[in-house]
Structure 1
Amino acid sequence: MQNIWSITGRSLAVSTLAIALAACQSMRGPEPAVKADIPANYASSPSTQGKSIAEQGYKDFFSDPNLTQVIDLALNNNRDLRTAVLNIEKAQAQYRISENNRLPELNGSTSFNRLKSSDTGYKAVSVYSVGLAVTSYELDFWGRLKSLKDVALDNYLALQSTKDATQISLISSVSEAWLTYAYASANLKLAEDTLTTQLDAYKLNKKRFDVGIDSEVPLRQAEISVETARADVGNYKTQVMQARNALNLLVGQTVPEQLLPKTSIKQVTKESIFATGLSSDLLTNRPDIQQAAYNLSAMGANIGAAKAQLYPSISLTSTAGLASTDLSDLFKSGSFIWSVAPSLNIPIFDWGTRKANVKVAQVNQEIALASYEKTIQTAFKEVSDALATKQNIGERLQAQTNLVNATNRTYALSNARYRAGIDGYLTVLSAQKDAYSAQKALLALQQSALNNQIELYKTLGGGVKVYNTDQVVYTPSSADAKKNQ
């Protein structure tokens, strides 16, 4: 019995040493250098001083309480975001599996066998046994399992970043859909007011025609304007309904009536200076860039796993328990049995498959690196585009407002001259169309200006935090953890 325990102790010592050695091994190569090639500052940034607006929580950035309530409903009910959260849970479970694969699996067993052989004199003998077994435990000398664990970790972290990116996109889409409803309603009101004006003009022209002052031409021109305005009313009624349907889909439920905007919105944020920070801030504020970094790290870990396949692997199966031909003697002294069965797998010739797998993993890392760099460049371009729009939107709004004032004045003068009999009704129609078109263009530009503020907040990476005081910390990737060792 003493000899058995001595052998068992040595086996445990060897196994422990193997595990310790395995923890120190890694076939992972050096991480590639990232060259995004973007400028340090934005060309048209209003302010790079101070913190980026992306570091504000959405409840502090957006000023309308109805809008923030709608956003909260969307974050709780949107199906895309819910799917992203479920994917994170699945990845977390997969990471736990990969982590557990590095540990020995212990199973209990009981058995009963009925044997007949030459050893028993060809008599039927019963054998009872109970025990514990370690089944196919791989000694991770070359870090294959550790690399696979790193892959699972990076994939899990990447999905967390995907969820954050989905949240940012959702907040932006909900805000823009809410504004679309507001401005569709504003266009509907403009069309209804125009229809009322055209009906009044039609009635006036009909009276003038009835008493013989004018010919039938002005009357029919007024009728054309009435029907055109009526068609616009129907069109904008449809747009209002469609805008509400789109908003309901994003939110994941019917938005309560009291949370819908009743008039065109003049502002969505209290901010007057939209600080962008430096372009390098995108690396920490944009979750899609974080996701690309995690994917790159996972590809590096895959190389380690592929390289480890080039070397021999050792698996260990062991059992320890009790066995007896008599059930009553099963737990008595002398019934202890044990076995250790290590197996060595040595790659000899596989037609180059393992080396090809290493090459595939290396190419995948190069693809992930290019994707990471492209993601950074795309983020910089999106911010720059939003800033380019913002740089001139104020001047365009002022010019369009002046145009609306001029066309309204022209329409008023033309209408007065027509009523005085100085000009024909065609001049009034032309002036009225210009005024109506200018007012519609002003509404569209006002909506674009507000959408631009939302777009800038989104492209800078805003929307992950709820309040300014919240902290967002991204877990280091396996590559970052390797650098810090």
Structure 2
Amino acid sequence: MNHLSLPAPRATRGALAVAAAVAALVLGGCANYAGISSDKQVAAPETFDSTQSIPAQGGEWPRLDWAAQFGDPQLPQLIDEALAGSPSIAQAQARIAKASSYIESSRSNLFPKVEGSYSWTRELYSANGLFPPPFGGTWYSENNVLASASWELDIWGKNRSRLDAAVSREKAAEADMQEARVALAASVARTYNQLGLLYALADVAQREIDNRKNVGRITDGRVAAGLDTNVERRTAEGNVATSQSNLTELDGQITTVRYQLGALLGKGPDRGLQIAKPVVNPKIEIALPDNVPANLVARRPDIVAARWQVEAMTHDIKEAKAEFFPDINLAAAFGFDAFGWSKFLQSSSRQVQFGPAISLPIFDAGALRAQLKSRYADFELDVANYNQTLIGALNDVATQIAAIRSLDRQMADAGRALDAATHAYDLAVIRYKAGLSPQLQVLSADENRLANEQTVTNLRMRRRDLQIGLIKALGGGFDATSTNLAIDGSGEAHAAAGQTPAR
């Protein structure tokens, strides 16, 4: 980009007149952003129909201590430990620190800069050069001290827009950290729930071993009475061994999940081995709060982060537009310059400089317009990302609700099936012990009862997992309005990327 620079030694009327004339020339034409704009806007939650999928139930939004409602004191402790020691949280905090440094750097451009310098030069002048004797052929020392100040007048708001963009990106980084905290807490809870499921299935397997051992004892009695043969005895022994093998497999899975929890806590695998057996309480109910779609934009940190990113791009666009206008800098300097030391600080050795400098974009072969178009493209991408994040959040909540509803119906049916299968098994054992039915009937009833008990156990723990998923979908206790991350109504004015008329 070619620029016309007019350094002025003194702020005289003539220099100001020239500056005004050049500014009028540039403002009247040359580089401009006519025809470059965008009509994209962030979508409002009300534009997406969701009243049937996400009904109002008069409930409350999740609290930050939502894990306590599951009735297991170990779970909140594990979540707190993970949030304190997880590398993923440390990474998010580092990104916030980096964004904060950009704010400090951008803010510094709003204030004058002051510098000081001193130089000492020892030089032998040529006897046959420009300076004749006595200067030529003689050594001289030159001392130069200078204090200078400069200030860029941010008339068009370029530096202020850069600062606003940096602030918005710091907000986005903070929201990203909150999203990492919510995701980590939910991941710990769901993995812990998986551990509880494996323990519950291990309990089922242990009860199955006891049941099959009991059937084995009945078989031994029937063999002694001549009612059964060694075929039934070996079958009973094989069934016990199979159940023990299943329990051993579950023990291995429990150890693996413990290792996973240790990693989530930011510790080594041995930390997972210290976790006690989870407490599995009856199911809890989570009623949806009213007006979920409208309030979700402040409750989901990923939505808040995406919104702040859009806000940052609106300021980037303003900065790019300000590039089309002249930069005006004020500069001044004062110091002393002399050969030798005797006259170094005398009044006659003073040096003074001051005046404005104007940098004007006259012809840049379209570089500034291309830069502004790129900013608008980034803005539209961020708007699309925000809208997609909002749609995904609404779908997440609706999906969790639908899954819980479906699972509740399955649990009712599975419970009735388990009751019937257990009653049939008990009757088969009684009849087998009384010699009224063969072993095969007991084994068939046992397999049916076992399958139904495993189904009920899986459904019960699956519901807890879905409840945790719903809590996460509702923001996991995050609330932008109670932090410094809420975007006020003025931010909506930036939704269309600042429709400033082109000059």
Q: TM-score range by the shorter chain?
A: 0.7 to 0.9
**Conservation of the 8 A alpha-carbon contact between 1:62 and 1:68:** no
Contact map agreement 1:150 1:298 (CA 8 A) in 2? yes
Among 431, 438, 454, the alignment partner of 1:424 is 438
Cα distance change on mapping 1:429 and 1:93 into 2, 3 Å:
same
Q: Which moved further from structure 2: 39-48 or 415-424?
A: 39-48
Report Cα offsets for 1:292-344 as digits up to 9, x if no partner.
Answer: 11111122222222233334434555432222323354334343322247554
Instruction: Tell me, in whole angstroms, the C-alpha distance in 2 between the residues paired with 1:477 and 1:125.
Output: 66
3-state DSSP of counterpart to 1:347: strand
The question of whether the paired residues in 1 share the 8 Å contact of 2:102 and 2:166 is answered with yes
Q: Is the contact made by 2:326 and 2:360 (CA closer than 8 Å) also made in structure 1?
A: yes
User: In the alignment, is residue 145 of structure 1 matched against residue 154 of structure 2?
Assistant: no
C-alpha separation in 1, matches of 2:236 and 2:410: 32
TM superposition shift of 1:382: 0.5
**What's the offset of the Cα at 1:479?**
6.8
Match of 1:451 in 2: 465
5+ residue gaps, structure 2:
1-8, 18-32, 499-503
Return the offset for 1:349.
3.9
Query: Does residue 411 of the first structure (1) align with residue 425 of the second (2)?
Result: yes
Measure how far apart 1:239 and its partner are. 1.5
Q: For residue 131 of structure 1, what is the amino acid of its counterpart?
A: L
Query: Is 1:275 matched up with 2:284?
Result: no
Instruction: Provide the rounded CA distance (Å) in 1 between the counterparts of 2:401 and 2:184.
Output: 21
Change beyond 3 A, Cα 1:262–1:361? closer
- 1:236 Cα deviation after fit: 0.7
Contact 1:179 1:265 in 2 (8 A): no
Query: Does the residue aligned with 1:171 lie in a helix, a strand or coil?
Result: helix
Residue 98 of structure 1 aligns with an amino acid whose one-letter code is: S
Change beyond 3 A, Cα 1:460–1:299: same
| Secondary structure of 1:96 counterpart | helix
Q: TM-score, normalised by structure 1?
A: 0.84
The DSSP-based 3-state class of the residue aligned with 1:53 is coil
2:141 aligned to which of 123, 126, 131 = 126
Q: Residue type matched to 2:147 in 1?
A: L
The corresponding residue for 1:105 is 113
* Segment drifting more, 52-61 vs 348-357: 52-61
Query: Which runs of structure 2 are paired with 1:284-323 in the superposition (5 Å)?
Result: 284-315=298-329, 318-323=332-337
Say yes or no: does 1:158 pair with 2:169.
no
The 1:447/1:336 distance shift into structure 2, 3 A limit, reads same
TM-score w.r.t. the length of structure 2 is 0.81
Partners of 2:238 and 2:10 in 1: CA distance:
104
2:281 corresponds to which residue? 265
Question: Where do 1:153-232 residues align within 5 Å?
Answer: 153-206=167-220, 208-209=222-223, 212-232=226-246
Matched, 1:66 2:81: no
Query: What aligned pairs does 1:325-474 form with structure 2 within 5 A after superposition?
Result: 325-340=339-354, 343-464=357-478, 471-474=482-485
1:243 pairs with 2:257: yes
| Corresponding residue pairs, total | 461
Give the match's secondary structure for 2:110.
coil
Q: Give how far 1:229 is off.
A: 0.9
SS at match of 2:334: strand
Match of 1:47 in 2: 56
Whole-Å separation in 1 of the counterparts to 2:91 and 2:39: 32
Percent identity of the aligned residues? 25
1:92 counterpart (88, 91, 100): 100
Seen in structure 2, the aligned counterparts of structure 1 residues 211 and 48 have a Cα distance that, compared at 3 Å, is closer
* Aligned-pair Cα RMSD in Å: 3.5
Which stretch of the first structure deviates more once superposed, 40-49 or 86-95?
40-49
| Alignment match, 1:81 | 89
From the superposition, tell whether residues 257 and 231 of structure 1 become closer, same or farther in structure 2 (CA, over 3 Å). Answer: closer
Deviates more, 1:40-49 or 1:454-463: 40-49
